[in-house]
């Protein structure tokens, strides 16, 4: 995927769901994975010509694993002229040593997001950008159907009452395959996920299932995504426009 195409998808999402308002200070959660680095690229570039002025900061959460190295992320943030803040935590110790969680992903995600959001407030941000893409949205819907029996996926824009922050998901129109293509083309400095549970989660099962469904029924993933965006899910904002790019 070319950079201009990434800009187009991201800008369309921002405008369709009115994600950015004048004077916003947006924190990008940067894990070092392909998704968050792609989001960082997109917002850092759009910041230069987007019709609404906004400020940007990057936040990386140090989970407390010995093999986390943020040197490459630091270099990329310098190149993109985005200030990077690294938040040091003991999430690894809490999840794997103190609690000995058999299914650690839920607690880890909760603690990680908590650390990210709290620090975003600390540095004066009013919004946090998460790097969820189109596949994440469809996978979440399938997980909800399978585990809870309801048709649901997370919203493009979510207000967090506890912190006063607003979460936005600017990559929602970008597929995972396009993110992978972007990563390869622009040689993103992806960090290996340090978590020992990586690749063995319920979401990985659903990801594999979705690939098989789309292989057997070409286009089904796109139709599922359209069903979500047009499905009047509780908590989802109405689109403010359709065809801006």
CATH code for the domain in which residue 184 is found: 3.40.50.620
**Position 195 in a domain:** yes
Neighbours of 168 (CB within 10 A): 25
Output the pTM of the full model: 0.91
**Position 235 in a domain:** no
**Position 236 in a domain:** no
**Position 240 in a domain:** no
Domain limits for position 94: 3-229
**Position 102 in a domain:** yes
Neighbours of 66 (CB within 10 A): 7
Q: Say yes or no to pLDDT of 199 above 60.
A: no
Query: Residue 108 corresponds to which tokens in the numbers above?
Result: 């880890």
Stated length of the chain: 245
**Position 234 in a domain:** no
Q: Say yes or no to pLDDT of 198 above 70.
A: no
Look-up of token digits 């998704």: 35
**Position 244 in a domain:** no
Per-residue DSSP letter, 52: S
Kind of pairing, strands 54-62 and 84-88? parallel
How many domains does the chain contain in total? Answer: 1
Compute the average pLDDT of residues 26-35: 95
**Position 245 in a domain:** no
Q: Phi and psi (nearest 5°) for 57?
A: -140, 150
Per-residue pLDDT tens digits for 122-170 = 999 999 999 999 999 999 999 999 999 999 999 999 999 999 999 999 9
Kind of pairing, strands 166-168 and 127-129? parallel
């Amino acid at each position: 995927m070319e950079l201009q195409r990434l800009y187009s998808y991201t800008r369309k999402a921002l405008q369709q769901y009115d994600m950015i308002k004048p004077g916003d200070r947006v924190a990008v959660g940067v894990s070092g994975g392909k998704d968050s680095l792609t989001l960082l690229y997109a917002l850092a570039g759009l910041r230069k010509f987007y019709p609404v002025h906004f400020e940007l900061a990057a936040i990386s959460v140090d989970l407390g694993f010995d093999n986390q190295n943020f040197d490459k992320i630091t270099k990329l943030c310098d190149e993109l002229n985005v200030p990077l803040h690294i938040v040091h935590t003991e999430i690894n110790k809490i999840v794997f040593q103190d609690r000995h969680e058999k299914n650690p992903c839920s607690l880890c995600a909760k603690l990680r997001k908590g650390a990210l959001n709290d620090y975003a407030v600390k540095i004066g941000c009013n919004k946090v950008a998460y790097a969820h893409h189109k596949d994440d949205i469809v996978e979440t819907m399938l997980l909800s159907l399978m585990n809870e029996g309801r048709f649901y996926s997370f919203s493009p824009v979510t207000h967090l009452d506890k912190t006063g922050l607003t979460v936005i998901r600017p990559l929602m129109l970008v597929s995972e395959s396009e993110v992978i293509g972007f990563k390869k083309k622009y040689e993103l400095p992806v960090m290996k996920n340090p978590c020992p549970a990586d690749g063995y989660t319920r979401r990985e099962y659903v990801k594999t299932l979705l690939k098989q469904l789309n292989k057997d029924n070409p286009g089904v993933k796109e139709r599922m995504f359209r069903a979500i965006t047009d499905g009047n899910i509780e908590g989802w904002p109405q689109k403010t426009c359709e065809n801006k790019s």
